[in-house]
Structure 1
């Protein structure tokens, strides 16, 4: 039986690099996404056709990841076999309008959509969307070797466009929240691409793990910022922990502001978040910083890097009535940047 499924991309409004450190995050689903058609096979062959790539590719389930664009597909099918959804490979047709390397979770959306399509093909209804999200994270961590948290997978497996997800990554409890009525979150690609397999992402994860060992905790976000600042932990790990603790508190404030319709506070928290990502977690790059500065100068209430860092997208909070003028002014000043979508 052929299976069909789709999953949206996501933008993280605030809460970067704290989903694997016990914090609260606030992603939102986007209108762009991935759709999958999956035809099970009896052998271990994997045949993937994707509209974003010129030629189809043939792989085998038994082979390890090799840094190829088809790796998430192979990993997802291996996980589908582990879950009992499939008993072999599959022919996959992938259609996507999510830009690659933009920081809006193309890999997570693809993995989740394939697992949902395998569930559809198998008729196994007992596997929940939350189960799918957790399985998709295993694909990222164990097959692709990306030390990511659970945020992306939860957001694309459960959230729908027009909603933000306040997700407690320590407990996996979540709440879906309406986005502001008169403002929009605009996603702009900086023109600088990046991949989560970039060693700098893993380096930040290692530094956070060092801080966890020092403080004897799995939850850096539960620590008091003053305790971290006064510690004798080496500078890099201390700064990463400090970002986690303060970013968690910014997310909590943003969630409260979103519920209250307080867009000024949301914007202020976004601005503070970017400063922390730039100066404390040290995950930004000059073109991103310039784009964020221009976004606020042009009238955005707040703007920040979103995603794993070192390139990709920014997200900006802009009044709907002035969005087009704001966007034209921003793109005129940054010719390499381009509009992705809005939430």
Structure 2
């Protein structure tokens, strides 16, 4: 796994700030969502995999009821006791939210000192917040010897973000950061929380995933994300179903006829067709037909652009340019309104594809993109004994 420099930096930061060695180092990854966007809070299906890039929490004990956290990206540490949602703001709010969520669930959370470093780009749609939450939660569970099975952890990390921080995200990000397995994509049913580890060995097929950070602004805690969620909930109410997951693909046309609002119809069409694309992608991967998922990725992007209306010019240009450069498929990944694009490419085309996107950005005077290839890594764990779940 990667993260060794971040781990060394976290340990050094802990020693500088607290004057002793940490009790341990815990890491959690960012994630790329291969396909299945905005389906999670509609009780649907998603297919993320964990990035090699990770957030590291160097942690040690503190007196009961006391927590202090510092970050390589912040000037000053933040200390807090037992708090209510919203009392700690900014980056430290995600840490306080994890403490609050564990306590609210009845766990005796140990006092702790925590130093954070991260390789996961912030604001890129690769779930840096979930990586932070998952690393901190894993550290606190281990430090306190808490009886919290892995399959229950994503919901508590999500609750920290939803309730404490106030970001209306689904459970995709935390599930990926905690439950992914190296060399696999995580097929998650967001209603039942059942998972299946789907083999995802791109190298064996002569393929690679190129992640292109558009470097366009990306925010989740804003009105647009919340508006999409509300429109989906309103559509489900009008259709008389628990969630849009309950609208089958072969019943989509009939469902759309029952909706009067053109915007809501577009939102419903995206969610229903996106769920089906996830199922189709999983079936292709199960049978080793990796190259054939490309058109599904591209169709997903078109749906996000036209029906869910969450893309921006930079990500659209990156997708179009990658496809023109020979990518088998490409799509925006993440919540939208900026962030990253993924492209399924032949393994030897990373440099040429990157250069093409850079040139297209330069022609439009966009901020230059950054790009790198990724492989599917493991989920959260202690650095010395990180499980290959």
User: TM bucket by the smaller chain?
Assistant: over 0.9
Deviations 1:180-226 (A, max 9, x none): 32211121110112121021000101101101111121231231221
What secondary structure is seen at the aligned counterpart in 2 of 1:322? helix
CA distance change for structure 1 residues 173 and 43 in 2, over 3 Å: closer, same or farther?
Answer: closer
Partner Cα separation in structure 1 for residue 323 and residue 80 of structure 2: 46
Q: Any idea what SS the aligned residue of 2:238 has?
A: helix
Moved more, 53-62 or 151-160: 53-62
**What's the counterpart of residue 318 of structure 1?**
345
- Kindly provide the CA deviation profile for residues 288-340 of structure 1, in whole angstroms up to 9, marking residues without a partner as x: 11111011111111111110100010111011122222223322332521115
Tell me the equivalent position of 1:218.
Answer: 242
Q: Does 1:331 align with 2:358?
A: yes
1:80 counterpart (102, 123, 145): 102
- Given that residues 110 and 140 in structure 2 are in contact (C-alpha distance below 8 angstroms), is that contact kept between their aligned partners in structure 1? no
Cα distance in 1, alignment partners of residues 67 and 144 from structure 2: 17
8 Å CA contact 1:86–1:118 kept in 2: the answer is no
1:188 corresponds to which of 203, 212, 216: 212
Q: Secondary structure at the match of 2:68?
A: strand
Alpha-carbon RMSD across the aligned residues, in angstroms, is 1.9
2:92 maps to 1:70: yes
How many angstroms does 1:64 deviate by?
Answer: 4.0
From 131, 135, 138, the equivalent of 1:116 is 138
Aligned length: 342
The yes-or-no answer on 1:15 pairing with 2:15 is: no
Which residue in the other structure is 1:251 paired with?
278
Q: Which residue of 2 aligns with 1:342?
A: 374
**Within 2, Cα distance between the matches of 1:49 and 1:195?**
23
Report SS of the residue matched to 2:141.
helix
Match of 1:176, SS? Answer: strand
For residues 194-205 of structure 1, the aligned pairs below 5 Å read 194-205=218-229
- After TM superposition, the score normalised by the length of structure 2 is 0.83
* Aligned equivalents of 1:120, 1:177: Cα separation in 2: 28
Aligned to 1:53: 74
Deviation at 1:171, TM superposition (A): 1.4
Q: Pick from 207, 211, 221 the counterpart of residue 231 of structure 2.
A: 207
Checking the alignment, whether the CA contact within 8 Å between 2:208 and 2:373 is kept in structure 1 is: no
Assess if the C-alpha contact under 8 Å between 1:214 and 1:233 holds in 2: no
CA–CA distance in 2 between the matches of 1:86 and 1:299? 54
**Alpha-carbon distance in structure 1 between the residues aligned to 2:75 and 2:270:** 41
Query: Are positions 1:163 and 2:190 aligned together?
Result: no
CA 219–102 in structure 1, closer or farther in 2 if over 3 Å, else same? same
Q: Is the 8 A contact 2:181 2:197 kept in 1?
A: no
**TM-score, structure 1 normalization:** 0.93
- Aligned-pair CA distance for 1:87: 4.3
Distance 1:340 1:93, change over 3 A: farther
Determine whether 1:301 maps to 2:323: no
The structural deviation recorded for 1:111 is 0.8
261, 271, 294: which is aligned to 2:298?
A: 271
Deviations 1:246-285 (A, max 9, x none): 0001111111111223234311000000000000011111
Where 1:127 maps in the other structure, the secondary structure is: coil
Q: 2:190 and 2:350 mapped to 1: Cα distance?
A: 33
> Residue 40 of structure 2: SS of its match in structure 1?
coil
Q: Which aligned pairs between 1:99-178 and structure 2 lie closer than 5 A?
A: 99-124=121-146, 126-178=147-199
Structure 1 gap segments, 5+ residues each: none
Partner of 1:20: helix, strand, or coil?
helix
